[in-house]
């Protein structure tokens, strides 16, 4: 097979392999990264960004919608919205629903996994704690059964990438083992679990903390609950919704200092209202009201997903979450880790999340204010 001529990209700053190259360059060959280097490229650049920063495309492992649509009613609309804002890899997160409804939704979305539109399906429920349901319909929450797990896996045909569940539910540990054996990443979330129950879930194979702190008991000096168990175990990747609403910025910064950026995946948990005006929306069957950019279950103070984009989350991370210091090379590398490398690794998706030889050519061109100016996916 004849290879196309390499396309050379140069920029004032390129973040690759955990390093900041100032200036830097890389080549794109047949949709993948070829060579990467610092300084001036060996041949004239086809695309030169003398005042810009180029980083890997963002990877969002927890997103329900955006641009006015959800994955259940407009998957391409959601993907197009987030891709234009730098997200080159994302999973389709589904909220809790009756098992027959989920089976239909999975079969519909499976085609978009097969064609590469999305990187997989994330089931956030229905195996969740009713006490921590948030914007999920409590009437559809159930304990996991072996038959339900097998039915959902069969409907997915390998498309289910991640499942979030509450480990204190009857049958949860067996469900975790079955899911992990099928190659599914399991997250602990929307739970009232104790420290011991959470530790047992990790031993059974759970490796993700679904939006840490949110929809789970707070740390307590006599009952540390799931938060400490999830933070203490190096096998666990912790999701954080760094939108400035779900978790106080100082707490996000503290977690990063404690566990390191390599264990933190910054997610949006975005719903259909992301990028849209304030108003009324829906998250699954639940009515949501957005005011001041904050989504809440209508008539309550319960937060219902977010209106964030990874581009905005990335800027907060690169700026140290507003906790002083501003953007530095160190914070830029950490932001790339948390918005691209870590979530790709947590989901087990190879060849994305970095600008390294052989990786898919996914990158984001950022201006001097770290605003997205160009997005490339697979060299396009």
Instruction: Please check the confidence at residue 62 and state whether its pLDDT lies above 50.
Output: yes
Instruction: Give the Cα-Cα-Cα angle 270, 227, 180 (nearest 5 degrees).
Output: 70
> What average pLDDT does range 120-132 have in this prediction?
96
Residues of the chain above pLDDT 90, percent: 88
215 in a labelled binding site = yes
Q: Class of 1-56+353-380 per CATH?
A: mainly beta
Share the mean pLDDT of the chain: 95
Looking up tokens 């997250």, which residue turns up?
187
Same fold across 1-56+353-380 and 58-90+237-351: no
Provide, for the chain, the percentages of residues in helix, strand and coil under a 3-state DSSP scheme, each rounded to the nearest 5.
30, 25, 40
Instruction: Please check the confidence at residue 326 and state whether its pLDDT lies above 80.
Output: no
pLDDT in tens, 75-100: 999 999 999 999 999 999 999 999 99
64 in a labelled binding site = no
160 in a labelled binding site = no
378 in a labelled binding site = no
Secondary structure letter of residue 355 according to DSSP: -
Cβ neighbours, 10 Å, residue 142: 18
Instruction: Please check the confidence at residue 222 and state whether its pLDDT lies above 60.
Output: yes
Examine the residue annotation and report whether 269 is marked as an active-site residue of this protein.
yes
From 269, 354, 367, 369, active-site residue: 269
349 in a labelled binding site = no
320 by Cβ neighbours in 10 Å (0-12 / 13-18 / 19+) ranks as: buried
Q: Where are the domains of the chain?
A: 1-56+353-380, 58-90+237-351
Instruction: Please check the confidence at residue 257 and state whether its pLDDT lies above 70.
Output: yes
Distances (CA, A) of 100 to 95, 126, 182, 286: 13, 12, 21, 18
Which CATH topology does 58-90+237-351 take? TIM Barrel (3.20.20)
340 in a labelled binding site = no
187 in a labelled binding site = no
Instruction: Please check the confidence at residue 1 and state whether its pLDDT lies above 50.
Output: no
pLDDT in tens, 141-197: 999 999 999 999 999 999 999 999 999 999 999 999 999 999 999 999 999 999 999
Q: Which two tokens stand for residue 189?
A: 């979330």
Instruction: Please check the confidence at residue 116 and state whether its pLDDT lies above 60.
Output: yes
62 in a labelled binding site = no
> What average pLDDT does range 328-352 have in this prediction?
97
79 neighbors 275 (Cβ within 8 angstroms): no
Q: What is the pTM of this model?
A: 0.95
Cβ neighbours, 10 Å, residue 110: 20
Distance CA 152, CA 149 (A): 5
């Amino acid at each position: 097979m004849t290879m196309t001529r390499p396309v050379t990209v140069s920029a004032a700053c390129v973040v690759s392999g955990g390093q900041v190259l100032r200036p830097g360059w890389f080549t794109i060959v047949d949709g993948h990264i070829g060579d990467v280097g610092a300084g001036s490229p060996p041949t004239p650049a086809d695309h030169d960004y003398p005042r810009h920063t180029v980083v890997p495309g963002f990877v969002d492992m927890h997103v329900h919608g955006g641009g006015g649509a959800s994955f259940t009613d407009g998957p391409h609309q959601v993907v197009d919205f987030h891709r234009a804002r730098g997200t080159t890899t994302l999973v389709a997160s589904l909220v809790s629903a009756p098992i027959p409804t989920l089976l239909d939704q999975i079969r519909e979305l499976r085609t978009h996994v097969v064609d590469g539109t999305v990187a997989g399906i994330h089931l956030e429920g229905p195996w969740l704690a009713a006490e921590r349901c948030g914007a999920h319909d409590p009437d559809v929450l159930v304990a996991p059964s072996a038959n339900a797990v097998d039915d959902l896996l069969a409907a997915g045909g390998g498309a289910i990438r991640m499942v979030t569940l509450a480990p204190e539910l009857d049958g949860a540990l067996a469900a975790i083992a079955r899911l992990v054996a099928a190659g599914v990443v399991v997250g602990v979330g929307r739970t009232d679990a104790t420290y011991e129950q959470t530790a047992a879930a990790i031993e059974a194979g759970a490796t993700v903390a679904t939006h840490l702190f949110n929809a789970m008991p707070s740390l307590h000096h006599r009952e540390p609950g799931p938060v400490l168990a999830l933070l203490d175990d190096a096998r666990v990747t912790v999701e954080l919704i760094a939108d400035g609403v779900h978790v106080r910025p100082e707490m996000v910064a503290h977690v990063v200092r404690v566990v390191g950026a390599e264990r933190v995946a910054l997610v949006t948990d975005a719903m259909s209202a992301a990028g849209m005006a304030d108003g009324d929306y829906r998250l699954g069957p639940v009515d949501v009201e957005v005011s001041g950019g904050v989504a809440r279950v209508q008539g309550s103070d319960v937060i219902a997903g977010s209106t964030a984009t990874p581009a905005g989350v990335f800027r907060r991370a690169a700026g140290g979450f507003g906790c002083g210091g501003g953007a530095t090379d160190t914070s830029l590398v950490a932001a790339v880790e948390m918005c691209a490398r870590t979530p790709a690794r947590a989901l087990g998706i190879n060849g994305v999340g970095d600008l390294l030889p052989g990786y898919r050519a996914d990158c984001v061109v950022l201006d001097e204010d770290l605003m997205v100016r160009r997005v490339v996916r697979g060299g396009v």
